[in-house]
Amino acid sequence: MQGDGDGWVTCAQGHRHWGRYGAAGLLIRAADAVVLQHRAPWSHHGDTWGLLGGARDSHETVGTAALREAAEEAGIGPDSVRLTGVHTADHGRWSYTTVLAEAVGPLRPASVNPESVEVRWQPVDAVDRLPLHPGFAATWPMLRAAYPPPHLVVDAANVVGSRPDGWWHRRLSAAQALHDQLAVFARAGLGPWSSPLREGVERLSSGIAPESWPVANRIVGLSWIYPRVTMVVEGQARHIAAGSTVEVVRAVGSGDDAIVGVVRAHPDSLVVTADQKLRRRVGGLGADVVGPQWLRARLDVSSTQPTERPRQ
Ligand SMILES: [Zn+2]
């Protein structure tokens, strides 16, 4: 119930913490800045910089709690960010979960309650020079490295074509169905972390083993990830309806050229296609590739799960 998480607890390591059901915070990241809160002097570890966040209530998921706190403390609405990952520091009997997010448009945080002196974007490079809340200071090096989030680029024509299909109007409906499944997948995320993104990934450019896939290295330590998803459509499939969860690139000319364009902007993408020529092109730019069956298996799993995870 509302507010039932308020209270002090002593963790297994002997610290005193706020939050009977643990606490959660939101780390909003842009390419070179993060949103931080300058905590009020009277608060626990006052006058330090840390995350927007606070005690979880018993009924809340970590995502719900972190987003509620960001709204209460900085007026940040849930639609202005996209979740990218979850990291939990478990102290025993108490845990702090950092929900990682990225802004989906211009975002102007502001201090809207007395718990903060200030809430603002801080340059990533300046964070280490600030007086940090000790909990945030301990996790910041790992959180800093977990950006950008994994980026999946889907060759829609190839993935749709991987299942028997005949008519052009069915191509449109099949692409729409794929988009809708990808939207569920992007919101549901992947985890608990057991290298689901790495299985089946082929490194074409340099022969480096999948274990050293750079995107995977960046998400080590996260218990849950929400990849960015870009779907490239061509021909009739350009007319699919799309929301804001999946970025849809509607190729005017060649779909392959459009995919190469996306990869140029995001060289460490994971591209989903079975097209050998395209695989060589994106592999040459540094992307990893995986086949449509890999994606189908993930989509079939995520479509059977509730979209808001994890609870932890
Ligand atoms: Zn502790």
pLDDT in tens, 135-188: 999 999 989 988 888 889 999 999 998 765 555 668 889 999 999 999 988 888
The mean pLDDT value of the chain amounts to 85
What count of other Cβ atoms lies within 10 Å of the Cβ of residue 310?
16
Give 257 Cα–ligand 1 centroid separation in angstroms: 51
* Ligand 1 centroid distance, CA of 6 (Å): 16
The CA 131 to ligand 1 mean position distance, Å, reads 19
Between helix 292-302 and helix 168-188 the angle, nearest 10°, is: 60
Region 85-91: mean pLDDT is: 89
Domain 8-145 homologous superfamily, CATH: Nucleoside Triphosphate Pyrophosphohydrolase (3.90.79.10)
218 alpha carbon – ligand 1 mean position (Å): 25
Question: Is there a contact between 278 and 156 (Cβ–Cβ < 8 Å)?
Answer: no
Helix segments in the chain, DSSP class H:
62-74, 134-145, 156-161, 168-188, 214-218, 255-265, 276-284, 292-302
CATH 3.90.79.10 residue ranges for the chain: 8-145
% pLDDT > 70, the chain: 84
CA–centroid distance, residue 94 to ligand 1 (Å): 7
Residue 1, pLDDT score? 78
- CA–centroid distance, residue 13 to ligand 1 (Å): 5
Question: What is the model's pLDDT at position 190?
Answer: 73
Would the pLDDT of 132 be above 80? yes
Percent of the chain exceeding pLDDT 90 equals 56
Tokens of 304: 């059977």
Stated pTM of the model? 0.82
For the cut 90, the answer to whether the pLDDT of residue 250 exceeds it is yes
Rounded distance from Cα 54 to ligand 1 centre (Å): 15
